[in-house]
Amino acid sequence: MASTDLARPRRAAVAVVLAGAAVAVTLGVLGSVSNGPRELPAWVFSSTQSLKAWLASAVAALVVVQLVSALWMFGKLPGVGAVPRAVKIVHRVSGALAFVVSLPVAFYCLYGFGFDTATPRTLAHSLAGCLFYGAFTSKMLALRSARLPGWTVPVLGGTVLTVFVLVWALSALRWFQLTGIAL
Ligand code: HEM
């Protein structure tokens, strides 16, 4: 392979990672200039925290669907054969839904609290929240780039998933531990 052919996938990978980093940094900056805490509507829930914890948990459930359908598509699910078309559709629909449902939660976080460095947990949650949308952006771009090596999409998908589990564990899980499972 000529050196320019080798450089192309590297350039594409760098572009995809930089685009994700730009999104994550922009969210972090937005969070830093947001002067919370602010009261926001809780709709039918007892508090905004509860609303966020339930919506975040709905996203977590969709993320599990993402994982199982991705493993199936990559032939890593033991005991199942060819990939039916429905699996691809389920993966796309659950991914789009997870993204859409996460948006109001992240908006409540960014606008309601901002980037919180007060405790290691809030700092880690704020960082992971920004990183989640960065990794998601990189994954979406990687799906549309034919130049990237085959492992790029599974690695980025795994990163999105792992970071979301972290976001959820540092926020919704802790909320349910404090208050119990209630609306
Ligand atoms: C995937 C995106 C996100 C999800 C699903 C999410 C979810 C949650 C949930 C469920 C809570 C607990 C309820 C509460 O205390 O209000 C929370 C709290 C919080 N979030 Fe997020 N969040 C996301 C992104 C972000 C981002 C981007 C930031 C800031 C840059 C952020 C900052 C905070 C802060 C400061 C709190 C309060 C923590 C506390 O005092 O316990 N979150 N988030």
Position in ligand 1 atom list of the atom nearest CA 32: 30
Nearest CA to ligand 1 atom 38: 122
Instruction: Spell out the domain ranges in the chain.
Output: 3-179
Helix runs in the chain, H state only:
3-33, 48-73, 85-112, 120-143, 152-168, 174-179
CA of 17 from ligand 1 middle (Å) equals 24
* DSSP assignment of 1-27: --HHHHHHHHHHHHHHHHHHHHHHHHH
The pLDDT of residue 92:
97
What's the rounded mean pLDDT across residues 80-89?
93
Pocket probe for ligand 1: among 109, 111, 117, 183, the residue whose CB has the most ligand atoms within 8 Å is 109
Query: How many angstroms is it from 126 CA to the middle of ligand 1?
Result: 7
Which atom of ligand 1 is least distant from the CA of 174? 12
CA–CA separation, 50 and 156 (whole Å): 30
Poorest-confidence range of 2-11, 78-87, 100-109? 2-11
Ranking 35-39, 91-95, 128-132, 152-156 by mean pLDDT, the lowest is: 35-39
